[in-house]
Structure 1
Amino acid sequence: MDIEKLTLEIVEKFDIKIYQDSRYFKFGADAFALANFASKYIKQKKKSINYIDMCSGTGVIGILISKIKNFDYVTYVEINEYAKDINKLNLEINNINGQILNTDLRKLPESLKIDTYDYITINPPYMRANHGLKTINGQKDLAKIESDDEFLNDVFKVAFALLKDRGELFLVHRVERMADILVSSRVNKMEPKTLQFIRNKGSKKASIMMIRFVKNGSRFLECIDDYNIGG
């Protein structure tokens, strides 16, 4: 990895530094929004919390939550090897302990203990497989386009396998995918419990949303006030 091709972003509010390659993996406001959203519901415990950040990219969400909740260890999962390498660099520069699994998230139940995790966050590819135009940039496509039509359903299947009973999954996604998300979550017994829309300042419509799911949760969905970006 050529570190000279990376840019270093300093986030003073959270006292973190994030390397990124803006050609491929530049993080956006949705990452900060999801970290903020999840942190409101993650409970502090005397014992260590088992937390996974799936589709971790360069690690910004897991690192933010580690800082906010003072976690001593996080498991990151990223299929893109180059993004994984930058994630590793970001853990080192922020003095954060954790493991990074360079694998397809659908293989996690084969390598991790099932029914043992408290929390999962995920900022997955937003675009459906075989819809829209691919770029000539394979790295960027991996981050933005689902690998196949079963990807979203498999996210919930894996979350159900890994989480403890009543464990929680936090997801950020496009509003246009809400029907797909809610159908897949209920089929896999990951019940949507809290919905929050992300709205840009001055915008009448929200294009991004965040949802909290609970494994084997009761059927009740609350929509809370919008998360506003830019004021």
Structure 2
Amino acid sequence: MIEPILKEGERIDGLPAQNIRIIQNPDMFSYSLDAILLAHFASVKGKGSGLTVDLGAGTGAVGLFYAPRVTGQIKLVDIQPELAEMAQRSVMLNQLADRVQVIQSDMKAIFDVIQPGSAETVLSNPPYFPLNDTTKTNNDPHYEMARHELTIDLPGLAQVANKLLKNNGKFYMVHRPDRLADIFAAFAQRKLMIKRVQFVYGKAEREANMVLVEAIKSGKPGGVRIMPPIVAYTDTNDYTPQVKTILYGQAWSK
């Protein structure tokens, strides 16, 4: 791998199981376990030769972690220039420039660059928190945009994913369980039929704090599968064997 020149405040974090490294700056934005679990949860259709689009890619973690599983092109879309620039350097670091392109753009404005109906797979780790009169946003503008629905909300995200996908293409998203009703409603109105749901728990005996969702464009209604849960941490705050395998085990199956 090519060693990059890091800017002030930056570091390189990696996912050993996928042999992928990501440049990030904790003062701007850092990926967390939700990005890893989303990339692991997403299935690969056929030989994985179709187009994959990562919406709201940030530093590119989800799309880059998914990249070793597929052979097709991947496009990482993020509105923030600083994060897109970091993602581009991570693409170079992992020697994936032949397959992975970074697009710095509002995701609602990408259809001059990405043809509607061309994506086999869409991935997204979007902002979790809706805006309302009582919303308290983060003081840091990078985290504020990453965590709050400032530039796009759930219905808007579902609309973009629907427009990108081929018929029977798949949309994978990680979100908060307390938004599950909103997710089902937004997806159903845009012909994204939810087919798999997996809950993630910080620790056993606690409420779920993440939900992973798979939906198919123009799929048949019904037939939702609730997958076995993921528990992230033990009582002693170590990763569980299940999560250790995802992070440090063999490369994920294709």
Instruction: Return the TM-score normalized by structure 1.
Output: 0.92
Amino acid across the alignment from 2:61:
V
Q: 4, 27, 32: which one pairs with 2:31?
A: 27
Which residue matches 2:41?
37
Total equivalences in the alignment: 226
Residue 164 of structure 1: how far off its partner (Å): 0.6
The 5-angstrom pairing of residues 38-77 of structure 1 reads 38=42, 41-45=43-47, 48-67=49-68, 69-77=69-77
Change (3 A) 1:72 1:115: closer
Is structure 2 residue 7 aligned with structure 1 residue 3? yes
Query: Hey, what's the Cα distance between the residues in 1 that align with 2:47 and 2:139?
Result: 46
Question: How far, CA to CA, are the matches of 1:201 and 1:18 in structure 2?
Answer: 27
1:186-224 Cα shifts (integer Å, max 9, x gaps): 000011111000112334210110100100111121111
Which letter maps to 1:53? D
In 2, Cα distance between the equivalents of 1:94 and 1:111? 24
In the TM superposition, residue 76 of structure 1 has moved relative to its aligned partner by: 0.6
1:133 aligns with 2:136: yes
Distance 2:122 2:73 in 1: 13
Counterpart secondary structure, 1:4: coil
Pick aligned residue for 1:183 from 182, 185, 210: 185
Structure 2 Cα separation of the partners of residues 193 and 179 of structure 1: 15
Show the counterpart of 1:147: 150
Equivalent position of 2:79 in the other structure: 79
Q: d(CA) in 2 for partners of 1:96 and 1:72?
A: 11
User: Counterpart in 1 of 2:104?
Assistant: 102
Aligned 8 A contact 1:108 1:158 in 2: no
Residue 226 of structure 2 is matched in structure 1 by 223
**Aligned partners of 2:221 and 2:201: how far apart in 1?**
26
Deviation at 1:11, TM superposition (A): 2.5
Aligned to 2:249: none
Shift of 1:109: 2.9
The alignment's TM-score, normalised by the length of structure 2, stands at 0.84
The CA distance in 2 between the partners of 1:79 and 1:50, in whole Å, is: 20
Higher helix share: 1
Structure 2 gaps, min length 5: 233-238, 241-254
| Whole-Å separation in 2 of the counterparts to 1:179 and 1:12 | 35
Displacement of 1:161: 1.1
**Structure-2 separation of matches of 1:214 and 1:70:** 19
- Other-structure match for 1:17: 21
For structure 1, the 5+ residue unaligned runs are: none
CA distance in 1, matches of 2:39, 2:6: 28
In structure 2, the partner of 1:208 is 210
